[in-house]
Amino acid sequence: MKCSYCQQEIIRNLTFKEILFPLLIKRERCVFCQQKFEKITVPACPTCSKPGWSSSCEECQQWEKRYPDYEFCHQALFRYNEAFKEWIYQYKFLGDFRLKTTFSAEIQEYFSHKKGWLVCSIPLSKDRFSQRGFNQAEAFLQAANVKTIPLLEKKVESLPQSNKNRQERLASPQVFGPTEQTFKIKNKKVILVDDVYTTGRTLFHAAEILRMYQPEKIQTFSLAR
C-alpha cells in the first residue's frame, strides 16, 4: 500500500478483516506525512473553525451583520499551514490527480455523521474546468465515496481567489446560479463543500443562491481553514 500523499510504500500489519476483505483497506498517509498536517483542535471559532478563537471570531461577526437571517456553520479539518499550501499547489494547480485520496479517511469519517444531507461541491466555470481537467472538491469527495448533487453552476468567469487579496475577495460579485436540481432542496439539509476557507466569500455567495430555494438548513465544509 502506498501513502496517499508522498506515494511511498507503507509497511504495516493488515487486520484480519482487511485480509479477508481487501476492499476495506483505506487509503492512508505514512507517518511522516501524517505529521505534516495539523488538525484543527479547540480552541477554534465555533462558527467557522478558525483556530485560536473560543467564541465567534471577528470575521464571523461581520458576516452575521451582513447575513443576519442565515444560521451560518462551517467546519474544517486542517489548519492552512505550509504543508497544506504545498499539497493544494500540487493537487489543484499542478494537477496531480492522485492526491484526491490524501484525506479520504478524514472525509469519510466526517460525512459518516451527515446521513441524509445533500452534498454539493463548489462548481468551476466551464473554462476553468477545461483548463484544470477536474473539480478539486468534487474529486476528493468522490474519492471518499461521498455522493454529490450539482445544485450550482458558475455563470461568470472570474480570477482565481488565490490571485486576489483579502479586500478583492470580499468585494467579489455573485458568480453562481441554480441548476435544474436546485428545486430538490426545499426542506432538505445541504452541505456546501470547498477545498479551503479563506474569507468565506465563495461559500456565502453559494449559500445565498441556495437559500432562495428554502432548504431546511445549510452548512459548509472545507478541508482547511
Please name every residue paired with 74 in a beta bridge, in sequence order, or none if there are none: 220
Name the percent of the chain lying above pLDDT 70: 92
Contacts (Cβ under 8 Å, ≥6 apart) of 46: 55, 56
**Residue 192 in contact with residue 207, Cβ under 8 Å?**
yes
Q: Enumerate the H helices of 124-184 as residue ranges.
A: 126-132, 136-143, 166-170
24 three-class SS: helix
What is the bridge-based pairing of β-strands 152-154 and 118-121? unpaired
Q: Report the range of poorest mean pLDDT among 20-24, 95-99, 101-105.
A: 20-24
Domains of the chain with bracketed CATH: 1-35 (no CATH), 37-224 (3.40.50)
51 three-class SS: strand
Cis? peptide before 123, omega within 30° of 0: no
pLDDT tens profile 35-75: 999 999 999 999 999 999 999 999 999 999 999 999 999 99
pTM over 0.75: yes
Beta strands in the chain (DSSP E): 74-78, 118-121, 152-154, 176-178, 189-196, 217-224
Q: Is 13 a residue whose pLDDT tops 70?
A: no
Contacts (Cβ under 8 Å, ≥6 apart) of 91: 97, 99, 100, 102, 136
**Residue 121 in contact with residue 135, Cβ under 8 Å?**
yes
pLDDT tens profile 98-135: 999 999 999 999 999 999 999 999 999 999 999 999 99
**Residue 27 in contact with residue 105, Cβ under 8 Å?**
yes
Average pLDDT over all residues of the chain: 92
